[in-house]
Amino acid sequence: MNNFIFQNPVKLIFGKGMIAQLSKQIPKDKKIMITFGGGSVKKNGVYAQVTEALKGYKTVEFWGIEPNPSIETLRKAIALGKEEKVDFLLAVGGGSVVDGTKLIAAGLLYEGDAWDIVKAGQSGETVPLAAILTLPATGSEMNRAAVISNHATKEKYGFTANYPVFSILDPETTFTLPENQVAYGIIDTFIHVMEQYMTTPGQSRVMDRWAEGILQTLIEIAPKIKANPRNYDLMADFMMSATMGLNGFVAMGVAQDWATHSIGHELTALHGLSHGHTLAIVFPGTLDVLRDSKGDKILQYGERIWGITNGSRDERIDATIAKTDEFFRSVGVTTRLSEEGIGMETINEIERRFNERGVAFGENEDVTGAVTKQILLKRL
Ligand code: NZQ
Ligand code: ZN
């Protein structure tokens, strides 16, 4: 196990009716900007609960943070926040609203254009923010990452922002999720765990089994949620899986990959595919092309998660990749570029972009533009 320092300061407030806790968490003298997406919170009663809980506070609302939040929209929110002199931010929605609000929190204390912060990869001081999460997927409610898109340049980058002070997770708020968002959320969570697990075995028994526990939970609950999307206990387990999948708890002292995410962001930037969907397309290709360096861990994953123990090394790896692809399809997403009308032009463009940026992803920093092309060719 590698040396590490771990600290996660987010206060997690979990369960039915817990949005009412808001007034106990935010000092009364704060001027709050509440940020929202496109309106799902009005249909599921979340907006009403938030408004009720914040009676007596000075608030201003910002609506319209879209999926894959854009710098174009967030600049408007920052301008409004500065004008209104807000000193607390409350994000209400999915990962996009939370991520967008993380940039607003940094942008409010920055003089220049907020895209500079994204490009720098790291924010400075921020206004405090908190989240009410309605979509289990990103882990943004308990981490300090944010991913922002730029429509003008068709770019999408992550940067390190600040943690929410607290996050409220009520599984009942997820009952209105459409089936595709549940599917993307399950896959996103699955791949977050994989990005921190699928490297080499023998680094940490605890991290491995913690990660495998989340993978097994997702595989167990995915068909049950499909059959019964309004089951509180299932959605509670889904929410906890997503939060635990990307809050640092499975990453202590172990190598991390993140190549699949970096490639997926390009597919979103170029074609607007949903984040979880891009991961389902790319990840089987990452396993396939990196079967030499990741082979021992693929075998462990195949055996412990899918019970694959027979055949040669390559046969077991192939069977494990096939099972993984099958799982993604079973939750209801396509896993091939061609199924989305994406072909060589995009593959060449992503290779070109990675070469131009001089990037190399993965735990061995060997996923270059050329290797990315091989990965995507496997997914045509
Ligand atoms: O905008 P509204 O009307 O709220 O509708 C949203 C949106 O259309 C809807 N939705 C959310 N909760 C709902 C609901 N609809 C009905 N009932 C509910 N309870 O779902 C749609 C998608 O929402 P979005 O927030 O975009 O989804 P998600 O949470 O998957 O976030 C995706 C974004 O997070 C980034 C992704 O790249 C993408 O930009 N990520 C952030 C990470 C992080 N901060 O650590 C890590 C991830 O790897 C990921 O990259
Ligand atoms: Zn993700």
pLDDT at 309: 98
* Interval between CA 50 and ligand 2 midpoint (Å): 27
Say how far apart CA 278 and CA 273 lie, in whole Å. 6
Atom of ligand 1 nearest to the CA of 261: 48
Pair 155, 194 in one domain: no
Q: 202: left (phi > 0), else alpha (psi -120 to 50), else beta?
A: left
Q: Does the beta carbon of 93 lie inside 6 Å of ligand 1?
A: yes
Ligand 1 pocket test: pick from 43, 71, 96 the residue with the most ligand atoms within 8 Å of its Cβ: 96
Task: Give the residue, by CA position, lying nearest to ligand 1 atom 15.
Answer: 177
Say how far apart CA 188 and CA 132 lie, in whole Å. 19
Tell whether 2 is covered by a domain. Answer: no
Question: What sign has the CA pseudo-torsion 228, 232, 237, 241?
Answer: positive
Ligand 1 pocket test: pick from 118, 132, 138 the residue with the most ligand atoms within 8 Å of its Cβ: 138
The pTM is what? 0.98
Q: Which of 174, 198, 226 is the last residue of a domain?
A: 174
Pair 148, 263 in one domain: no
Task: Give the residue, by CA position, lying nearest to ligand 1 atom 18.
Answer: 177
CATH number of domain containing 324: 1.20.1090.10
Q: Which of 140, 174, 208 is the last residue of a domain?
A: 174
Tell whether 107 is covered by a domain. Answer: yes
Say how far apart CA 362 and CA 352 lie, in whole Å. 18
Pair 186, 227 in one domain: yes
Number of structural domains the chain divides into: 2
Say how far apart CA 366 and CA 110 lie, in whole Å. 35
Pair 207, 319 in one domain: yes
pLDDT tens digits for 9-53?
A: 999 999 999 999 999 999 999 999 999 999 999 999 999 999 999
pLDDT tens digits for 250-268?
A: 999 999 999 999 999 999 9
Which pair of structure tokens corresponds to residue 151? 């429509």
Helix ranges (H only) for 145-178 are none
Pair 131, 226 in one domain: no
Pair 221, 128 in one domain: no
pLDDT at 217: 99
Which residue's entry shows tokens 């091989």? 374
How many residues belong to the chain? 380
Tell whether 315 is covered by a domain. Answer: yes
Tell whether 6 is covered by a domain. Answer: no
Atom of ligand 1 nearest to the CA of 175: 19
| Phi, psi values for residue 170, rounded to 5° | -115, 110
Say how far apart CA 321 and CA 81 lie, in whole Å. 47
pLDDT at 127: 98
Tell whether 373 is covered by a domain. Answer: yes
First to last CA, the chain: 37
Q: Does the beta carbon of 137 lie inside 6 Å of ligand 1?
A: yes
Q: Does the beta carbon of 285 lie inside 6 Å of ligand 1?
A: no
> In which residue ranges of the chain is pLDDT below 70?
none
Atom of ligand 1 nearest to the CA of 139: 45
Which pair of structure tokens corresponds to residue 375? 């990965």
pLDDT tens digits for 295-324?
A: 999 999 999 999 999 999 999 999 999 999
Pair 240, 169 in one domain: no
Burial (Cβ within 10 Å: 0-12, 13-18, ≥19) of residue 233: exposed
Pair 72, 162 in one domain: yes
Pair 351, 371 in one domain: yes
| Phi, psi values for residue 131, rounded to 5° | -135, 145
Pair 99, 164 in one domain: yes
pLDDT at 265: 97
Atom of ligand 1 nearest to the CA of 276: 30
Q: Does the beta carbon of 140 lie inside 6 Å of ligand 1?
A: yes
pLDDT at 256: 98
Residue range(s) defining the domain that contains residue 61: 11-174
For residues 287 and 280, the answer to whether their CB atoms sit within 8 Å is no
Identify which ligand lies nearest to the alpha carbon of 182.
1
Q: Does the beta carbon of 281 lie inside 6 Å of ligand 1?
A: no
Residue 11's nearest CA partner among 240, 236, 167 is 167
Pair 270, 149 in one domain: no
Q: Which of 120, 143, 174 is the last residue of a domain?
A: 174
Q: Does the beta carbon of 145 lie inside 6 Å of ligand 1?
A: yes
CATH number of domain containing 133: 3.40.50.1970
Pair 354, 238 in one domain: yes
